[in-house]
A and B are shown apart, each in its own frame.
Chain A
Amino acid sequence: MWSSPFITTPSSVSQIMLRVLIALIPGIALYVWYFGPAILVSIALASITALATEAVMLKLRQRPLKPFLTDNSALITGWLLALSIPALAPWWLVVVGTAFGIAVAKHLYGGLGNNPFNPAMVGYAVLIVSFPAHMTHWLTPHPLGDIVLTFSEQMNYMFNGVLPAGLTLDALTMATPLDTLKTQLHLGLAANDIRDMPIYGRLAGKGSEMVSIGFAIGGLYLIYTRVINWLIPAVFLGALFVISGTFHLLDPVHYVTPMFHWFAGAAMLGAFFIYTDPVGGATTFKGRIIYASGAALITYLIRAFGGFPDGIAFAALLMNICVPLIDIWTQPRVFGKKGGGK
């Protein structure tokens, strides 16, 4: 006998994940517009690696291939990782990161739904620790660069490591806006003066700020279609605003504006696509507030005082660790049991 309920909504994991992929497209489009098509190659590489690793791991774990290969979750891991690392990098960088994320962070912990850590962020952490040099060469946005590589020239570098004669990698890439800010502050420049440098735009880094806006638009689409809950992005951005705003008000010479923090680095990607990953995230209302504000605090501390230019990935991993405890602490009261009464 079959037991109730006999009806379900037509929603599926695969559809939810597909919507997340769709929501990434505005950001990716702006990325291509400002930085060229190299990112598309990274994403393609990451997708193939993700699906291949997923298939191998499923085979090893003796799990059915079809339902898990079509759930689109591996693709999200691949895309997020590709978007988190420099686009103009040797092909194996994104492959190693994605494969590690899927094989170790996801499948060794039990596969879909069982990974305590965000696989893409684990992949990112492995890459930035193992290959820091490759992780610092970010493409210069088109409005700034004197030289723009053609697509085939980019391919040639990614797969053969060969740049056109007379060009060095340094001429084509630059440090990220967050990185530059950190270095210049160390050199004793005031935040305001640094912001006047040509790499900065109206909000944060030229080009990258627009990509952030693209991710924010995608994120709003996810909230609108109820794929993600508004709470985590709202609390994360709110907390980041308050923390960075406080520092900025107290010491504007050394601390940049909240807007800068919002639109620099991976803040928008984190707010809408990384911290909202349900698997490793907090599940209760209060828990999500703690989770998102904790992530904002760690992100800010790493950005302002830490050794890495951005803190989104490490904040995600550190908060992932805390989730079981947060969830236990913040269980909501059950119907009819006000004030803990029985």
Chain B
Amino acid sequence: MRQLHKFHGGVHPPTHKEESTRTPIAQAAIPSKLVIPLHQHVGNRAVPVVQVGERVLKGQIIGRPDGRLSSAVHASTSGTVSAIEMQVVAHHSGLPDLCVTLIPDGKDEWIAHSGVDYKQTPHTELRHILRQAGIVGLGGAVFPSDMKSYSNKHKIKTLVLNGAECEPYITCDDLLMRERAADILRGAEVLRELLYAEEVLIGIEDNKPEAIAAMRQAVQDDKHQFMEVIAVPTLYPGGGAKQLIRVLTGIEVAAGVRSTEMGTQCFNVATAYCVWRAITFGEPLLSRIVTVTGNVDRPQNYEVLLGTPVSELVKQAGNKPDTNRHIMGGPMMGVDLPSGAVGVTKATNCIIEASPALFPPPPPALPCIRCTRCADVCPADLQPQELYWFAKARDFGKTQEYSLFDCIECGACAYVCPSQIPLVQYYRFAKSEIWQREQEHQAAEIARERHEFRVLRLEREKQEKAERLAQKERAAVAAKPVAPTPAPALADPNADPDDTLQMRIDAAVARAKEQVAATEPPKNTDALTPQQQAEIAEIEARRAKFHEIASHAGADDESPKQS
């Protein structure tokens, strides 16, 4: 029996998983139109490569990856592109993004595609296939899988396959594991090879006995010798990558540290499944399993074409009239969708139809009484009550001192708060304010550099002008050496003309310098409190981290082949 580890805190919200697990995965109907966002992944938005009015085939690339950290986007079925425009998308920002609208022709006609034998294919080629197939993390983080499937300099011991699915209501991974365990494990084997990992630990919360049994059976049937299916205790947020890695391996991956540095990598089970389909059959990511539950007649899992409007999807499960909102994801970390017209994306694991009866609005918040129930349940060992206090006071430096950016926004704190304070909202607010400040700081830095450059340039020009003038005068003096006519220009005829010139030049330089000194704004880095200095140091450190990640990203990847 494997020794499991614990993470701090956690909560046990009602799971509500039974409702949607009674029937197998159903194929959702092809909708009347598909709204396919070109930005369904972490990284750069895909660049549209189709025209309005163009007929596209199922599996055809409609958005090519742009830059290293990006992924392809495909036509989920055959049809005609009717628009490429900004539309509201299923994202927590609530902001519109570029989408391709596709009117299906109902033929569902595939583009020519074929797979490869992964054992005979170089790793760079495999990663290229994943990138072109638009494979991203389907657990919700949608990080491009090709970027996660190399070990770089680090030795990867453990590949963690995440089938925990700890959020209430969501059962898409559960059903996928029950029905398609073999392909999930084959995909995991491909990922293991790519990472040179020694073992694959498959973590599944123990409230999914059918999935555990199916996966164990598949491990046996296919004789996967490096794999182990492990039932982990049901405890939210045990399905968070960091928490699951901790539970299975005892390793704690701190915020800002890549898990590969600690010798582990984590993929969602659905991602592994899509990896297998992409490599072996050449099928890009065109659909995903979505749990449709909540205020519907028939809660169920559907295999849904990406881009299917949420309202058309929920209709198939029998949506009820008192539904007042659609939640994408679970009730703990999900997103209140701006509209039912948004298309299902690669991040859409679940649609919860919400009604006031099912999700009553919280009562008005009372003041924090520092009871620390939030700290007791925080899986990141933070002090949410202190973070709340500082965020509310807009003391953002202090929030960073108290490790705001280690918060994974799991919502456990707000879930238990007896004062019903929307704690996570405060943390999101503080984070966005800090990002904003950082951007402003960067912009100011650029502006300052520009300004300094301009001042320098002006000074240089002045100096050059003065020198040119001096030269001219010198030339003039030299031109008339023998005709000492009274020179009104020279104040002192006895003075050496060269001296005067030198004085003029010096004066011009001094003036220019004075101007520089006068116009240079006081540096905002002068006279800082230690706290502000620490803040800046931290921001710098994080920026350095981002740069590092960016420079490592795809270090052994081929340069993107784009045609």
Contact = CB atoms under 8 A, between A and B. Distances in A.
Interface of A: 1-9, 11-13, 15-16, 67-68, 71, 73, 110-114, 229, 278-279, 281, 283-284, 327, 331-338, 341-342
B359 A7 contact: yes
A275 to B, nearest CB: 14
B254 A336 contact: yes
A143 B13 CA distance: 52
B418 A12 contact: yes
Nearest to A113: B367
Interface stretch (B25-33, B57-65, B371-379): B371-379
B331 A334 contact: no
B383 A4 contact: no
Contacts of A4: 327, 329, 331-336, 409, 411, 424
B332 A5 contact: yes
Interface in B374-406: 375-376, 379-383, 385-386, 402-403, 406
B417 A335 contact: no
B8 interface: yes
Contacts of A342: 254, 256, 541
A337 B331 contact: no
B94 interface: yes
B375 A8 contact: no
Given A334-B380, A336-B242, A2 B325 contact: yes
Nearest to A331: B383
Interface residues of B, number: 64
Interface of B: 7-8, 13, 92, 94, 168, 242, 246, 252-257, 325, 327, 329, 331-336, 338, 354, 359, 361-364, 366-373, 375-376, 379-383, 385-386, 402-403, 406, 409, 411, 414-420, 422, 424-425, 428, 541
B367 A112 contact: yes
19 contacts: A2-B336, A3-B424, A3-B428, A5-B424, A8-B415, A8-B416, A12-B363, A13-B419, A15-B418, A112-B369, A114-B367, A278-B370, A281-B370, A283-B386, A334-B255, A334-B381, A334-B406, A335-B380, A342-B254
Closest A-B pairs by Cβ, 5 of them = A336-B254, A5-B411, A113-B367, A336-B252, A335-B380
A11 B359 contact: no
B349 to A, nearest CB: 14
In this complex, which of A5, A12, A114, A334 has the most chain B Cβ atoms within 10 angstroms of its Cβ? A5
Contacts of B383: 283-284, 331-332
Contact of A113 (B7, B368, B375, B425): B368
B264 to A, nearest CB: 12
Contact of A331 (B92, B246, B402): B402
Contact of A335 (B252, B331, B363, B385): B252
B332 A7 contact: yes
Main secondary structure of the interface of A (DSSP, over half): loop
Given A4-B331, A71-B366, A333 B416 contact: no
B428 A335 contact: no
Given A6-B334, A7-B415, A334-B382, A1 B94 contact: yes
Contacts of B420: 8, 12
A71 B366 CA distance: 9
A284 B376 CA distance: 10
A5 B377 CA distance: 14
Contacts of B428: 3
Contact of B415 (A5, A16, A67, A284): A5
Contacts of B335: 3-4
A135 to B, nearest CB: 29
A110 B373 CA distance: 22
Contacts of A338: 252
Contacts of B379: 335
Contacts of A67: 364, 366
Given A112-B366, A335-B8, A341-B254, 12 more contacts: A1-B94, A3-B336, A5-B415, A6-B354, A15-B418, A112-B367, A278-B369, A281-B370, A283-B375, A333-B381, A337-B403, A342-B541
A323 B558 CA distance: 57
Nearest to A15: B418
Contact of B417 (A8, A110, A112, A281): A8
Given A5-B411, A335-B380, A278 B371 contact: yes
A58 to B, nearest CB: 12
A161 B168 CA distance: 64
Contacts of B368: 113
B422 A3 contact: yes
B255 A336 contact: yes
A143 B242 CA distance: 63
A286 to B, nearest CB: 12
A336 B5 CA distance: 14
Contacts of A12: 363, 366, 418-420
A238 B448 CA distance: 61
Contacts of A11: 373, 416, 418
Given A6-B334, A335-B242, A336-B242, A283 B370 contact: yes
A67 B366 CA distance: 8
B19 to A, nearest CB: 15
A3 B427 CA distance: 12
Most chain B C-beta atoms within 10 Å of own C-beta, residue among A1, A3, A284, A342: A3
Contacts of A334: 254-255, 380-382, 403, 406
